[in-house]
Copies of this chain bind each other. A is one copy, B any other.
Amino acid sequence: MHTVFYVSDGTAITAEVFGHAVLSQFPLPFEHVTMPFVGDEAKANSIKERINDSYRQSGKQPIVFHTIVDTKLREIITSSDAKCYDFLNTFVSPIEQQLGVKADPRTHRTHGMDNRKHYDARIDAVNYALENDDGVTTKEYDEADIILVGVSRCGKTPTSLYLALQFGIRVANYPFIDQDMEQMRLPTALKANRHKLFGLTIDPNRLQEIRERRRAGSRYAAPEQCQYELEQVERLFRMEAIPFIDTTFHSVEEISVKILERTGIPRRIF
């Protein structure tokens, strides 16, 4: 098995996420090793040794994906016996040519704290999502960018948190309960912000499976209850013209991006 090293003088998150995207195109298993915060020559040299050891021991040439801004440290890593792929500079050079502007490399610009205001906005979005999770309060809906609605356990909370943490968006979420669905009308708190509502739905069997894992044998997890709630909630979405998507076969990332696509709200942080 080939070993893949993700090496960076920052968090190495870019190298990891992007490296995994590239390798996911290959029908092979890999061993993954992440080496973040390579900040000095001693550390760079010890990583170079480890890369070379891995080659000697496995007989397979390691792959190194790196995003190292410091030139000296980069040279140490690329002088190893691995095949090294330079994620940043591969694109920086042609873009310099295209724009006629020299790059001004700095470490920690990607996942660092360069922009404090921006960063505070992100933490505020996380706090907002937590304080407005699961309908615990509806008083702050005026400040929401989006209010996710749907039955219990259809994916509202993870989606709210993802949109907050990764995209800096303020998302409240409200679970429809039996009473809302019997009356087939929106609770008053939601009516005033109906332009912000976005619905999530899910396959009844999948919902049952999720609820069963939480409260085995309960009415809440019964097949007919799941079926009933979902039928009613989808009728309500249609009646009230609330846009909605089915979360069954989608990851949190896919759901989040689809919501932004439909609402036109841009992501605020990267």
Contact = CB atoms under 8 A, between A and B. Distances in A.
A88 B162 contact: no
Interface string A139-175: 0000000000000000001100110011000000000
Of listed A14, A91, A266, residue having the most chain B CB within 10 A: A91
Contact of A250 (B14, B28, B113): B113
Interface of A: 2, 10-14, 16-18, 20-28, 32, 34, 36-37, 61, 63, 67, 69, 83, 85, 87-88, 90-92, 94-95, 98-99, 101, 103-106, 108-113, 119, 122-123, 126-127, 130, 133, 157-158, 161-162, 165-166, 249-254, 257-258, 261, 266-267, 270
A270 B20 CA distance: 7
A158 B104 CA distance: 31
A18 B16 contact: no
Contacts of A95: 22-23, 26, 63, 83, 85
In the A-B complex, the 7 residue pairs with the closest CB atoms: A111-B253, A20-B270, A25-B103, A24-B109, A11-B257, A21-B110, A14-B21
